[in-house]
Amino acid sequence: MQVSITINGTKQSHDVEPRTLLVHYIREHANLTGTNIGCDTSSCGACTLHLDGEAVKSCTILAAQADGGSVTTIEGLSKNGEMHPMQKAFMENHGLQCGYCTPGMVMAAIGLLNENPKPTEDEVRLGLEGNLCRCTGYHNIVKSVLAAAKK
């Protein structure tokens, strides 16, 4: 079936199997591999991106369901060679180590601040509940998000 999605501002159209998940569409058809896959139960959040402005786990949605929608991936965050403030905050606060959960974590964190621009530490921890990281113990991720919220 034909699926058309605006990805990082550019409309793309691809012929895909109906069972194709949005994350596979992004990685294999749109060739954007920054969005990672970390599980098969929608538990880890590594594949989080923005669909029509909302942070979603792209493994929970069929590409067909996103037809006509607008997607922002990690590759679409930086503007004019400048990283997004959330990306900068992660760098400045050592909010990543291996970096595999990072794209999803950054997209989820931006979604969190969109809904709650001045969260408390507990609200950040609860808000990122759907994104797993195995390296950082979350300490510096939480610090990064709180720092981005202050900007």
Partner 1 sequence: MSITEERTNNVIGQRMLRREDPALLTGEAKFVNDLVIPGALHLAVLRSPYAHARIVSIDVSDAASMPGVVAVYTGKDLHSTWAAPMPCAWPVTPDMKNPAHYPLAIDKACYVGDGVAAVLATSETASRDALDAIDVVYEPLPAVIDLEDALSDRVIIHDAIGTNKSYTWNLKVESAEGAVDQAFKNAAYTVSERYIQQRLIPMAMEPRAVAAVPQPFGGDVTLYSATQVPHILKVMTAITLGIPEHQMRVVAPSVGGGFGSKLDVYAEELLCVALARKHGAPVRWVEERSENTQATIHGRGQIQNIELAADKDGKLTAVRVRLIGDMGAYLQLVTPGVPLLGAFLYGGVYHLPQAYDFSCTSVFTTMTPTDAYRGAGRPEATYAIEVAMDALARTMGIDPYELRKRNYIQKEQFYDATGNHVGYTAFHGLNYDSGDHLAAAEKAMQHANYAGIRKQQKTQNVPGARKRLGIGMTSYFEMCGLAPSRVLASLNYGAGGWESATVRVLPTSKVQVVTGTSPHGQGHETSWAMIAAEKLGVAPEDVDVLHSDTAIAPLGLDTYGSRSLAVGGVAIAGACDKVIDKARLIAAHQLECAAEDLQFDKGTFSVKGSPDKAVPIAAIAFAAFTAHNLPDGVEPNLEAQYTHDPKNFSWPFGTHICVVEIDTETGKVDVLKYVAVDDCGNQINPLIVEGQVHGGVVQGMAQALYEEAVYDKDGNLKTSNLAEYLVPAACDVPPITTDFTVTPSTTNQLGVKGIGEAGTIGAASAVMNAVIDALSGLGITKLDMPASPNNVWKAIQSVQGGK
- Number of helices followed by number of strands (H, E) in the chain: 5, 5
Nearer to partner 1, 30 or 61 (CB): 30
**Structure tokens, 6:** 């605006």
How many angstroms from the chain centroid is the CA of residue 57?
Answer: 8
We find the least distance from the C-beta atom of residue 130 to partner 1, in angstroms, to be 7
Residue among 40 and 117 whose Cβ is closer to partner 1: 40
Amino acid, res. 50: H
Q: Which residues bind partner 1 (CB under 8 A)?
A: 17, 27, 31-41, 43-44, 46, 73-75, 77-78, 83, 87, 90-92, 94, 96-103, 106, 121-122, 124-126, 128-142
Distance CA 22, CA 89 (A): 28
Q: Nearer to partner 1 by C-beta: 53 or 99?
A: 99
